[in-house]
Amino acid sequence: MHRDNLLPLLLKTEITMSNYTPLSEVGEFGLIKLIKEKVDLQHESSVLGIGDDAAIIEPHEKQIVVSTDMLLEGVHFDLTFCPLKHLGYKAIAVNVSDIAAMNATPTQVTVSIALGARYTVEAVEELYEGIRLACENYKVDLIGGDTTSSRAGLVISVTAIGEVPKGEAVRRSGAQVNDLICVTGDLGAAYLGLQVLEREKQAFMANPEMQPELEEKQYIIGRQLRPEARMDVIHDLKERDIKPTAMIDVSDGLASELFHICKQSGVGATIYKDNLPADEQMLETALEFNLDPITCIMNGGEDYELLFTVPLADYDKVKNHPDISIIGKITEASEGINLANKHGQAFPLQAQGWAHF
Amino acid sequence: MHRDNLLPLLLKTEITMSNYTPLSEVGEFGLIKLIKEKVDLQHESSVLGIGDDAAIIEPHEKQIVVSTDMLLEGVHFDLTFCPLKHLGYKAIAVNVSDIAAMNATPTQVTVSIALGARYTVEAVEELYEGIRLACENYKVDLIGGDTTSSRAGLVISVTAIGEVPKGEAVRRSGAQVNDLICVTGDLGAAYLGLQVLEREKQAFMANPEMQPELEEKQYIIGRQLRPEARMDVIHDLKERDIKPTAMIDVSDGLASELFHICKQSGVGATIYKDNLPADEQMLETALEFNLDPITCIMNGGEDYELLFTVPLADYDKVKNHPDISIIGKITEASEGINLANKHGQAFPLQAQGWAHF
């Protein structure tokens, strides 16, 4: 498995934020200096990083891809069970995932943070340690950002930049009738990881003496707290000489992403229920919570796997990849978007995704 | 003057946010559609805009510059006196200002917004109308972003991208001993505009029947609510064949920016008090508020003018520009950073800038 085992220390973040050095002691410039000291530029294309009005990139005849995501405390994360280090890692990973979904290589990121008054220098260092780790893993340079204060919770805004040779970018709009629909890894685990964390938080609040029982849920909790972008698969596809016809990352849930591909490509799709990739721990936990595993897989979200389509002729190239499942096929738009069972019965899919508002 | 006259309607924003269409009626995808419909891509380099995992840019052998800024309600703006349209305009202008300060041409922006539950579709449209206007004025393409909900106030995060021929970018670090120190426009007005707005807000809260008296303060209020990036000066400098040795935009205050240039260039500076550019309305208002005009000029901030240095040999080229003042000269680092009066007496400068934390 490409993911680390990890056991988050529930409520560790709360402890980190008391005592220690207040931000007012170092000020904004001190904070920027502290961040800058931990940054090494690796890419030849990173000409100038943190410390001027803007960073400079030299693209060397490649196309540039740009993606941006904003994460807010209380909306996208809960610091009572999300350690700051994991949060920093996740903020980078989810943006790199968007770059991967363009079939591009991530090269640079900018990170802006707004911090409440209760934050300490140590808390910010922990956050940036996660950011640094992710930058190292995905080989991206932190080239700039903004640091400011927040009257409410923590806000993190990341812009990721990548490069791709001209003609190699993969959009959502290229899926063709009879293409195979593929997905990486397994789905639904991040959503169920969140359910477990929410449950343990409630239990802890009812009885602070309680020790959270997370040992058996390591995998699904890790999927929620520290997802990985599937750059490994992007490299594998290149090695196998596969260029997807359409691609998107699974952030809002498989159904929602499939609707994007079908709408933008002007096609329909049939997904085979039995081919959907599921982890054992996810399945057990779904039962524990009385949730339908297929709903968790289709609409759970935050898996950050890649959903892509390839020509039927590439079947032999993808079929034996240990981390790719062939889950369906692209059809005429008139056939709609359906979920089929092993008896050949098909039911129209609903895209739920996240309702932000 | 290159700036519009404008009279903000105090408290107009509050009215805009009651009634009208709730965001929940259109949802996130509806909101993105609404934003996308108003966007036209103008730059040849903008290959793909809103609607995929990432945008695509084709840099055509140029270097790319990237800058990012985050604005939070209650920290950077007060919606009781800042109309959303102006706020949208300002969010783009302050980022374009950073691109200008690199001697680059802005080409694309991404805009991420987090909205509280009280926001209406009409309020978002007003915000994006300002963003659209700024994009039109500065000839930049809106190519992406993120829309999400906020538990607290409005958050806007903008990343601006620009292009510059190799070797033409101007950093903060290139100032040389004997260079002339120049600044565009006038300084201190944005700060005093804010003081007036805060005063009128207090008066309004004490007596809601009161009509704010802003007619006489149009210029300084406009400087606060709707600043412009000085791309006009960047074009003028190119036409006159002037390449600054160092450049920075004045966001935190002249003194603070001067310290950045001196520190990064390893030099000192002397500023001549009598040469500092000041607007009449700013001077009158400073007296009204019992504030030292020189302090407002040196530490007020948010002017978004350009502070730059040119070789002494360029004196003839800059001296007659109507919007550029020569305010001092670069000295050896050992001489420090000083403010000199007409009698030749020099006093060491203090950088204040903004204390965010």
pLDDT digits (tens, 9 = 90+) for A148-180: 989 888 999 999 999 999 999 999 999 999 999
Q: Give A230 to chain B, closest Cα distance, Å.
A: 14
Residue range A97-120: mean pLDDT, rounded: 92
Task: State whether B53 and A150 contact (CB < 8 Å).
Answer: no
- CA dist., res. B209 & res. B207, Å (int): 5
Task: Give B121-143 pLDDT, tens digit per residue.
Answer: 888 889 999 999 999 999 999 99
- What is the mean predicted confidence (pLDDT) over B288-292? 96
pLDDT of residue B48: 87
Interface touch A66/B147, C-beta < 8 Å: no
The mean pLDDT value for B182-204 works out to: 95
For the residues A109-129, what does the mean pLDDT come to? 89
- Listed residue (A326, A319, A305, A310) closest to A185, CA to CA: A305
Contact flag B155-A159 (C-beta cutoff 8 Å): no
One-letter identity of residue A135? C
Between A117 and A172, residue with greater pLDDT: A172
β-strand partners of A115: A149
| Chain A residues closer than 8 Å to B352 by CB | none
At B28-72, the pLDDT tens digits run 777 778 777 777 788 888 888 888 888 888 888 899 999 999 999
pLDDT category at A99 given cuts 50, 70, 90 is very high
Is the pLDDT confidence value at A306 over 90? yes
Of all residues in chain B, the one with the smallest CA distance to A56 is B65
Q: Cβ–Cβ contacts within 10 Å for residue B316, how many?
A: 8
Kindly determine whether residue B114 and residue A75, on different chains, have CB atoms separated by under 8 Å. yes
A117 min Cα distance to partner chain B (Å): 7
| Cβ distance of B114 and A61 shorter than 8 Å | no
Contact call for A67 and B59, based on CB within 8 A: no
Tell me which residues of chain A, numbers 258 to 287, contact chain B at a CB-CB cutoff of 8 Å: 264
pLDDT at B347 over 50: yes
- Averaged over B75-86, what is the pLDDT? 91
Sign of the alpha-carbon torsion through B96, B99, B105, B107: negative
What share of chain B has pLDDT > 70, as a percent?
93
Q: What is the amino acid identity at position B60? A: H
Q: Is A133 exposed, middle or buried (0-12, 13-18, 19+ CB in 10 A)?
A: middle
Q: What is the pTM of this model?
A: 0.90
What is the structure's pLDDT at A51? 82
Query: What's the whole-number average pLDDT of chain B?
Result: 89
Instruction: State residue B16's pLDDT score.
Output: 45
Looking at residue A19, its pLDDT comes to 56
A172 close to B (CB below 8 A): yes
Of the candidates B102, B155, B354, the beta carbon closest to that of A53 is on: B102
Paired with A206 in beta bridges are none
A-B C-beta contacts closer than 8 Å = 232
Residues of B in contact with A112 (CB under 8 A): 68-70, 157
User: What is residue A352's predicted lDDT score, i.e. its pLDDT?
Assistant: 57
* Confidence bin at B19 (pLDDT 50/70/90): low
Residue contact B75–A171, C-beta within 8 A: no
CB interface of A with B, residues 87-116, below 8 Å: 98-99, 101-102, 104, 108, 110, 112-115
Averaged over A83-91, what is the pLDDT? 95
Helix (H, G, I), strand (E, B) or coil at A186: coil
Q: Is B4 on the interface with A (CB under 8 A)?
A: no
Does any CB of chain B come closer than 8 Å to the CB of residue A178?
no
Q: Is B64 on the interface with A (CB under 8 A)?
A: yes
Whether residue B2 has pLDDT greater than 50: no
For the cut 80, the answer to whether the pLDDT of residue A98 exceeds it is yes
Helix (H) or strand (E) holding B348: strand B346-348
In this predicted structure, what is the pLDDT of residue B291? 96
pLDDT at B186 over 90: yes
Judged against a pLDDT cut of 50, whether residue A278 lies above it is answered with: yes
Structure tokens at B145: 């972003």
What spatial distance separates the first Cα and last Cα of chain B, rounded to whole Å? 36
pLDDT at residue B26 is higher than 50: yes
Percent of chain A with pLDDT strictly greater than 90: 68
Helix (H, G, I), strand (E, B) or coil at A106: strand
Q: How far is B124 from chain A (nearest CA, A)?
A: 13
Token pair listed for A236: 């594998």
A326/A320 Cα distance (integer angstroms): 10
A54·B160 Cβ contact <8 A: yes
Residue of B46, B47, B52, B155 to mutate for A, most A C-beta atoms under 10 A? B52
Q: Quick check: B114 and A56 CB within 8 A?
A: no
Q: What pLDDT, on the 0 to 100 scale, is given for residue B17?
A: 46
Given CB atoms, is A66 within the 8 Å cutoff of chain B? yes
The region of weakest confidence among A53-57, A132-136, A268-272, B166-170 is A53-57
Nearest of B144, B147, B63 to residue A98 by alpha carbon = B144
pLDDT score, position B177: 98
Least confident of B9-18, B123-132, B309-318: B9-18
With a pLDDT cut of 70, the percent of chain A lying above it is 93
pLDDT score recorded for residue B224: 96
Chain B residues within an 8 Å CB radius of A162: 54
| Set of chain A residues whose Cβ sits within 8 Å of the Cβ of B31 | 357
Contacts of B68 in chain A (CB under 8 A): 110, 112, 144-146, 157, 159
The CA distance from B61 to the nearest CA of chain A, in Å, is 6
pLDDT, position A46: 87
pLDDT in tens, A205-223: 888 887 777 889 999 999 9
ipTM above 0.85, yes or no: yes
Q: Which amino acid, one-letter code, is at A153?
A: G
Alpha carbon distance B262, B270 (integer Å): 11
pLDDT > 60? residue B187: yes
Burial label for B248, CB within 10 Å (0-12, 13-18, 19+), is buried
Residue of B nearest to A23 (CA): B357
pLDDT digits (tens, 9 = 90+) for B238-270: 999 999 999 999 999 999 999 999 999 999 999
Name every chain B residue with its beta carbon within 8 A of the beta carbon of A28.
Answer: 353-357
